[in-house]
Amino acid sequence: MERGLFVTFEGIDGCGKTTQIEMLSSDLEKENIPFVLIREPGGTDIGEKIRTILLDKANSRMHARTELLLYEAARAQIVEERIKPELSYGKVVICDRFFDSTVAYQGIARDLGLQAVDYLNHWSTAGLAPDITFLLDLDEETAYRRRHGRSDEEDRLEAEGLAFMKKVREGYLLSSRDQPRIRVISATDTPEVIYEKIKKTIWEELEK
């Protein structure tokens, strides 16, 4: 492997990204395949500072465009400081969310406009895109239940939160059209069934 392999995981909260990344990491470790896990917007000193600004409750007045630019700023840094160097060493770079999240959340669900978001994504990464993206597709209600567990008391599904997640899911599916890089996987199956598909794709790619 000369150039490494850039793999990203996408999908709404609770769809199973972390679960799959853990399964993949443990297999890569077993087979002594060098890899790194990366999570935006942290991962660099500058990115951590940006993350603090994004999470600070005192910043509740932050405009959606400000938020978008902060994510892009952290992304520009992590691409140059970590992703590109690790790929040049031939590693597998695994990102828990990357710019497709910005398309689905900011571009579509928050309606900041796809043209602007696509442009900023391209610009902040200097054109670097994942080799493979797994979109774990799950309906918002199942994802909500997975995150909150089952409870006997009436499940107060936050209507607004669910409507937003539905938009994000649709945004992801829309942006995956005509993009062979994005592999849409139904996330309703068991973790093992989902992982088999992911593993097959990655190992095929590693053997190229």
Residues that bind ligand ADP (CB under 6 A): 11, 13-19, 146-147, 187, 190-191, 194
43 binds, among Mg ion, ligand ADP, none (CB under 5 to 8 A by kind): none
Min dist. Cβ of residue 88 to ligand ADP (A)? 28
* Chain contacts with Mg ion (rule: CB under 5 A): 17-18
Measure the CA–CA gap between 55 and 73, rounded to whole angstroms. Answer: 15
Does residue 133 contact residue 8 with C-beta atoms inside 8 Å?
A: yes
50 binds, among ligand ADP, Mg ion, none (CB under 5 to 8 A by kind): none
Using CA atoms of 72, 74, 165, 194 in order, give the dihedral in degrees to the nearest 10.
Answer: 110
CB neighbour list of residue 92: distance below 8 Å, 6 or more residues apart: 4, 5, 7, 28, 33, 34, 35, 36, 202, 206
Q: Which is nearer to ligand ADP, 4 or 171 (CB)?
A: 171
Measure the CA–CA gap between 138 and 15, rounded to whole angstroms. Answer: 6
CB neighbour list of residue 138: distance below 8 Å, 6 or more residues apart: 11, 12, 14, 15, 16, 169, 186, 187, 188
13 binds, among ligand ADP, Mg ion, none (CB under 5 to 8 A by kind): ligand ADP
Q: How many CA atoms lie within 13 A of 146 on its CB side?
A: 19
Min dist. Cβ of residue 32 to Mg ion (A)? 26
Min dist. Cβ of residue 123 to ligand ADP (A)? 27
194 binds, among ligand ADP, Mg ion, none (CB under 5 to 8 A by kind): ligand ADP
Min dist. Cβ of residue 3 to ligand ADP (A)? 27
Q: Which is nearer to Mg ion, 17 or 167 (CB)?
A: 17
Min dist. Cβ of residue 21 to ligand ADP (A)? 8
Q: Which is nearer to ligand ADP, 117 or 135 (CB)?
A: 135
Rg (CA), the chain: 17
